[in-house]
Each structure stands twice: as C-alpha cells, then as structure tokens.
Chains A and B, each alone.
Chain A
C-alpha cells in the first residue's frame, strides 16, 4: 500500500478512469479517504460509548437490586460480562481482519488486526481479573481450572501470541501473515468458549442470556447489563478506530521521511 502523500491525495473517480464503480472495501484502502471517513465516524463512537457505559454502570452499581444468592457481588457482572463479550467479539474482528488480509490482501486489514490485538488482550485480561474478583467471594477460590475459565485463558494467550508474532519478523509483511494464520487457527477456540458451560460440567454458571429470548435474568439487571455492554462495544470500536487512524498517519509519516531522505541522498 502506498502511504506517500501523493497517494493520499489521489481521488480519481471511476467516472474519470472509465472503470466500473467499485463498492467494496478496497475503496477505503486509500489512506486519505480512510482518515477522512474515520475522523467523521469517531465522535459517533466516542459519545455513545461514554453515555451508555456511564448510564449502564451507574444503574448497575447504584440502582439495580442485589442478587438473592450472590448479594452485591453480582454488581461485578456489569463489567465482567461486557469484557467477556468484547474478548470474543474482538477476537472475531481480529480473525475477520486477518482473513481479509490473507485472502484479499486488503492493505488496512493487517493494521486493523495489529491494533485490535492489544485492546482485545486487555479486555480479556480484564475479564479474567474481574471474574477472579467475583469468583473469590462466590466460590471461595480466585481461580479454578474450569472449562470456561481455561478456554478464556487460552484466548488471552492467543491474543498475546498474535501481538508477539507480528513483531517477531524483520519483514513486517511476513510477521503480519504469520499473525493472520495464528488468528485464524485460534477461531476454533471461540465456539469452545461459548459452549464450554454446556459441554462440560463447569463451576462457571451457564448462559443466562440467550439470543432467542430465553433469559433467566430479571429486567432490572438485564437493562443495565445491556447498556453497559453496548457502551463498552462502542468504546472498544472508538479506541480501535483512534489507534488505526494513528497507525495510518505514522506509516504515512515514515513513508514521507524516507522519501525526503532519498531525495537528500
């Protein structure tokens, strides 16, 4: 991908070239176009993230009732569950970007995967830590080698492996390709995480929320959880988009400085 300033300014329309108008993701491979679009989208991710997360956490922390069995410790759920959701959703995004990178060689896909990795690893670590803080008062143990906990730990290692692998090669393209293969192989862990509470007899509780409406949770707990999860999702996207914008700019800057050095030499 050409990240030179000249390439960034190229806005030749299909009408000018006579080529059919392409409505696929490669239209956003132009760094200038991507940056303009991302700058417009950014506030629409940041504002809902702040409002929804604050509303969800306030509701969950101060207004929702305590659980009849778990007491107030259930309030950890309003951050633990969004983190768990984002850990798997983030990995799905990472795998999708890796797929696009390997199959279509989309120039921004490698960068997207590289920027999703650290944020995904952080939310997975947060999921494990908050789960541990919830588990100690409820189970009497910080950690158990339960199928759900272990599979999420494997997910954390997959994120870490991806972060390390893409930086392990002198040739960045080879690193990105190796990382993409690892990310795609790791997808097998996602259904294991989801179905672990059904396939094995686990200490971790089963799914309380179902897509088909099979919820066993009271509405006074479900709504703050939903708001918190939605807000965190927007927040995750906002952080990734901001990091991706910065990464595109940094690459353009590197290209610019190298071109200047070549001209000087």
Chain B
C-alpha cells in the first residue's frame, strides 16, 4: 500500500476527498433525520400509519 503522506499535491487531494465526505454526510444525515422525524410525526398523528409499515429503516 502506498503511503499517502508522500503524495504530491496532497493538500488538493485531501481537500477534494474532504469536500466529498462533508457533502455526502450532510445529505445522508439530513435525509435520515428528515425521514425519522416525518415517520415519528405521522405515527403520532395517525395510528394507521404504523399498520402501513411506514418506517424510517
């Protein structure tokens, strides 16, 4: 395995991968949180939602 600390232009590579990770995490966590919240609110408001197998999984 190559040691990444010896890469040329390491800061550019790190910035690109960091940016990718940040955007991916933002959208993944955002979607997950929104879905969990919507499921919770819907279940509280409508007991039949549970029967419809509405879940955040």
Contacts from A to B (Cβ < 8 Å) = 5, 8-9, 32, 35-36, 39, 42-43, 57, 61-63, 66, 71-73, 75-76, 79-80, 83, 119, 122-123, 125-126, 129-130, 133-134, 136-137, 235, 239, 242-243, 245-246, 249-250, 252-253, 256-257, 260
Contact = CB atoms under 8 A, between A and B. Distances in A.
5 contacts: A5-B48, A72-B13, A73-B12, A137-B12, A249-B49
Contacts of B34: 242-243, 246
Given A35-B54, A246-B35, A253-B42, A136 B49 contact: no
A42 B57 contact: yes
Contacts of B26: 122
A58 to B, nearest CB: 10
Contact of B17 (A57, A136, A245): A57
Nearest to A50: B28
Contacts of B55: 39
Nearest to A250: B38
Interface string B22-57: 011011100110110111011001101100111101
Given A72-B7, A133-B16, A62 B1 contact: yes
Given A63-B1, A122-B27, A239-B28, A73 B46 contact: no
B7 to A, nearest CB: 4
Interface residues of B, number: 37
Contacts of A76: 12-13, 16
A75 B52 contact: no
A73 B13 contact: yes
| Secondary structure of the A contact surface, majority rule | helix
B7 A75 contact: yes
Nearest to A125: B23
Interface of B: 1-2, 4, 7-10, 12-13, 15-17, 19-20, 23-24, 26-28, 31-32, 34-35, 37-39, 41-42, 45-46, 48-49, 52-55, 57
Contacts of A129: 16, 19
A98 to B, nearest CB: 21
A83 B20 CA distance: 9
Contacts of A122: 23, 26-27
A9 B17 contact: no
Q: Which of A122, A242, A256 has the most CB atoms of chain B within a 10 A radius of its CB?
A: A242
B57 to A, nearest CB: 6
Contact of B27 (A43, A119, A137): A119
A220 B19 CA distance: 25
Contacts of B17: 57, 61, 79
Contacts of A61: 4, 13, 17
Contact of A256 (B2, B10, B45): B45
Most buried by B among A35, A43, A239, A246: A246
